[in-house]
Amino acid sequence: MDGGAPGATPGAGHGGSAAWGLLLPVREAPPRQRGRVLQTGLREAVRSGRLAPGARLPSSRELAADLGVSRGLVTEAYEQLTAEGYLTSSRGSGTWVGDTARDAPAGDRSAGERTAAPAVDFRPGSPDPALFPRAAWAAAHRRALAGLPHHALGYPDPRGLPELRSAVAALLTRRRGVAADPGRVVICSGVAQAMTLLALTLGGSGGGTVAVETPGSFEHAALFAAAGLRTVPVGLDTEGLLPGDLAASGARAAVLTPSHQFPSGIAYSAARRSALLAWARDADGLLVEDDYDGDFRYDRAPVGALQGLDPRRVAYTGSVSKSLAPGLRLGWLVAPDGLAGEIVERKRTMDLGHPVLDQALLADFIARGEYDRQLRRCGRAYRQRRDALLRALAEHIGGTEVTGIAAGLHVIASLPPRCGPQERLLARAARAGVAVRPLSDYLPPRPPSPPPGSDGGDGGDGGRVRLVLGYAHLTPNRIAHGVRLLAGAARHP
C-alpha cells in the first residue's frame, strides 16, 4: 500500500509496494516456515513504518490469495500480531496497524488502549523503571542547577561538559577497561546517536558497507541504513562474529556486542576478539562496540571492553539506558583518534551540543558514587530475577536449556520439543497472556549462516523453540506467574 496511508486498503493490486514486497518471501519459504516468515515480515513492516499506524490490512482471505498460502496461516499471523500489540482488530471491521508502531519498549503501555496488554511481558530490552533512583536523581538535579554558572547555560562544548567527560572516562576505565581519555569522549543521546554519528562520519569519508551481527539488534541495521550506509548481515558461532564471513562481506566496519551478544547472549571469546582486531588492522577497518548491558555480569567481574585492546580500531558506545532508564537519552561514544574531530563536528551540526543540565546532573550523580550504587542495586535485583526465571523454567518446563545467563537482562530458553512448533506455541502463549519473542525474530528469513547452536534458523533447534526472555523488568512473582502461563500454553493441545 502506497506508503501505508491510514485507511488505505492494501490488497491484490498493491503486491508490488514496499510493505507487501516484504511478505513475498513467504511464498518461497518451505511450508513449515511460512507462518514464521509471514509474521516476521509483518512485524518488520510495522516496525519500519512501511505499514503506518492506522493502515488497514487486507482481509485474511485476500492476503492468503495474494501470497498463495492458506487462510489459516494469515489468520494466525493476524491473531499473533494483535496479541503482541502490532495490530488491532475489531469484529466486522477488519484489522489495522496499531499505534504501538516502532519498537515501543516493553514497559510502554500507551498503545494498550485498543489491545489487551499481556499479563506478563517477557520481551527483552527494558530495565525495571521502578528501580530508577528518583530521590538521588532529584537531589543531583537540584545541586546541578544551583551549581551551574550563568555562562554555562550557553551552547555547550559539542563533546560534552568537561566535568562529565572526565567522570565518564574515569568510570569506563575503572568499570569496563576502556582506554578513555576525556578528550575522545563525546556525550550523546544514547548508543543510537553514537551509531548515527559514526555512520555519518564513515559515510562522509567514502561510505561503504557496515556488517551487523545476525542474529542482532533491529536498531543497528536501521540506524546505519538511515544514515545512508549499506548494511550486510554477518553470522555468528559460539565465539562471536565469524571473521571469515566478515572479510568476505566487503564491509569496512562491523557493529558488535562482544560482552553479551544481543540477542544470543554469548560473550565473544578472547581468540575471536583477537581475530576481529586482526581483521580491522589488515582491512583498515573499524569495529563499533555496543556495550549496551556490559555492566551486568553475575558469575564474575564483567568482561572488559573490546575497545581496551586496540582503541585505534574500536569505537566504543554505551549509555545509561539499561542502568538508569532509556528515556533519559544519555550516552557516550569513545572515538578513535583519527575519527574524533569529525565526529565532534557532526555532533555540533546535528544539535549544537547535548543539553547542559542533564550533563551536569549526571556528572554530579557519578562523582558522588550514586551511579555505582545504582549498578550494585540493579545488579542484585537482576541476579535474583534471573535466578527466579531459571528456577521457574526448571520447575514448570523441565528439559528447557537456558543459555546466555551469565550477564545482561535476558536469556535464551530452548524449550523441549514436546512444547510443540513455534507458531503454535507463540499463538497459545499470546492467548494465555504471555508476550514472548522468538530468537528467529532477530534473523532475516534466510540467515547467511546458522546462529550459535542452531540447526539452520528455522525457529527450532532440533525441534526446540528458542525464546529470548527478558526478566529485568519483572518481579520474581511475575516471572514465576509468566512461566506457569507459558507452561500451560505449551502443554495444552
Ligand X SMILES: Cc1ncc(COP(=O)(O)O)c(C=O)c1O
Question: What is the C-alpha to C-alpha distance for residues 367 and 318, in angstroms, rounded to an integer?
Answer: 18
How far, CA to CA in Å, does 34 sit from each of 39, 351, 386?
9, 44, 33
| Burial environment of residue 134 by CB neighbours within 10 A (0 to 12, 13 to 18, 19 or more) | exposed
Cis peptide bond prior to 215, omega within 30° of 0:
yes
Smallest distance, ligand X to C-beta of residue 327, A: 9
Q: Which is nearer to ligand X, 96 or 442 (CB)?
A: 442
Residues 6+ apart with CB under 8 A from 213: 220, 233, 234, 236, 241, 255, 256, 257, 261, 262
Smallest distance, ligand X to C-beta of residue 294, A: 11
Question: What is the C-alpha to C-alpha distance for residues 52 and 55, in angstroms, rounded to an integer?
Answer: 6
Q: Which is nearer to ligand X, 217 or 414 (CB)?
A: 217
Smallest distance, ligand X to C-beta of residue 220, A: 7
Q: Which is nearer to ligand X, 34 or 260 (CB)?
A: 260
Q: Find the angle CA(197)-CA(43)-CA(6) to the nearest 5 degrees.
A: 90
Q: Which is nearer to ligand X, 88 or 323 (CB)?
A: 323
Question: What is the C-alpha to C-alpha distance for residues 95 and 395, in angstroms, rounded to an integer?
Answer: 38
Cis peptide bond prior to 105, omega within 30° of 0:
no
Smallest distance, ligand X to C-beta of residue 260, A: 9
Of the candidates 78, 74, 146, 140, the residue with the CA atom closest to the CA atom of residue 367:
140
Within 10 angstroms of residue 245's Cβ, the number of other Cβ atoms is 19
Three-state SS sequence of 125-137? CCCCHHHCCHHHH
Q: Which is nearer to ligand X, 66 or 219 (CB)?
A: 219
Smallest distance, ligand X to C-beta of residue 376, A: 21
Smallest distance, ligand X to C-beta of residue 216, A: 8
Contact yes or no for 439/470 (Cβ under 8 A): no
Cell of 415: 524449550
Smallest distance, ligand X to C-beta of residue 267, A: 14
Contact yes or no for 429/79 (Cβ under 8 A): no
Smallest distance, ligand X to C-beta of residue 219, A: 5
Residue nearest to ligand X (CB): 190
Q: Which is nearer to ligand X, 114 or 329 (CB)?
A: 329
Q: Which is nearer to ligand X, 47 or 424 (CB)?
A: 47
Q: Which is nearer to ligand X, 20 or 442 (CB)?
A: 442
The count of residues in the chain is 493
Smallest distance, ligand X to C-beta of residue 3, A: 25
Q: Which is nearer to ligand X, 165 or 464 (CB)?
A: 165
Q: What residue type is assigned to position 4 of the chain?
A: G
How far, CA to CA in Å, does 287 sit from each of 84, 283, 290, 326?
34, 11, 10, 24
Smallest distance, ligand X to C-beta of residue 106, A: 11
Q: Which is nearer to ligand X, 255 or 465 (CB)?
A: 255
Start-to-end C-alpha separation, the chain = 37
Residues 6+ apart with CB under 8 A from 170: none
Please report, as ranges, the residues that interact with ligand X according to CB under 6 A.
125, 190-192, 217, 219, 257, 262, 290, 292, 319, 321, 326, 331
Q: Which is nearer to ligand X, 191 or 393 (CB)?
A: 191
Smallest distance, ligand X to C-beta of residue 459, A: 20
How far, CA to CA in Å, does 227 sit from each of 22, 51, 191, 210, 224?
21, 21, 15, 11, 5
Smallest distance, ligand X to C-beta of residue 457, A: 19
Q: Which is nearer to ligand X, 214 or 257 (CB)?
A: 257
